[in-house]
Amino acid sequence: MALISNGTSIFDNGSMATGLASSMVHIKKLTASNSGSLSFVHGSGGVDFSTHKEYLFTFNNIHPATNGSHFSFNLSIDGGSNYNVAKTTTAFRPFHYETASDTPELAYQAGSDLAQGTGFQNIAENLGSANDECSAGHLTLYNPSSTTFTKHFMSRINLNHSSSSPATVNWYISGYGNTTSDVDAVQFKMTSGNFDGVISLYGIA
């Protein structure tokens, strides 16, 4: 047993690790290899959107085949037959060039949000497709099985910009699926072309 302190209390790090592990459960990992989309569907491959109140999707090494494509997602209430849930969202992003030649910017992206739109929501835009470029981040979906409330979500993704002047861009997207039906499938894809990468799903108690 090892003890750690936060300056006020002393904790057993073994007990802490056990507690943290029990609060997050790995559900499924999908790997894209020149894939058009990845879908997590309730009842398929161990996916269950009714057990937890919070679901975390993590994105690693998301690499588009098409330079400048956008990474997007949508929700389904019919087991993945249609991904067309109405969503109202908000979007903003900071960026900074490698050369620091331009002033860094943090701004609301009015053209990247939806107002009751049923199409796919971009959660990261203008991804670079060079060999060493990718994106990584996460999206949290709250209480998708509720038949009382709308379905809130928040995402944050960092990426290499597709510009000829390399830059880091951090996209913040949040909103809600405006449905009281249970959401039972989530799909991720590029707006143009295929992609590589890994998406993992976790349930959080």
The two structure tokens encoding residue 18: 């056990």
pTM of the model: 0.88
Per-state percent for the chain, helix, strand, coil, to nearest 5: 5, 55, 40
Average pLDDT over residues 93-101: 87
Name the band, by pLDDT with cuts 50, 70 and 90, for residue 98.
confident
Choose which CATH entry (2.40.160, 2.60.120, 2.60.40, 1.10.3210) describes domain 26-204: 2.60.120
Structure tokens that stand for 67 in this block? 């330079």
Residue from 115, 124, 62, 57 nearest 95 by CA? 124
Q: Are 76 and 186 in contact (CB under 8 A)?
A: yes
Handedness of CA 179, 26, 4, 15 (dihedral sign): positive
pLDDT at 16: 47
Q: Which has the closest alpha carbon to 28: 38, 16, 37? A: 38
Rounded distance between C-alpha atoms, residue 26 and residue 46, angstroms: 10
Average pLDDT, the chain: 91
Give the residue-averaged pLDDT of 106-115: 95
The least confident of 104-113, 139-148, 173-182 is 104-113
DSSP assignment letter at 122: E
The span from the CA of 62 to the CA of 179, in Å, is 29
pLDDT computed for residue 1 by the predictor: 47
List the chain domain ranges: 26-204
| pLDDT (average), residues 31-38 | 98
Per-residue pLDDT band at 205 (split at 50, 70, 90): confident
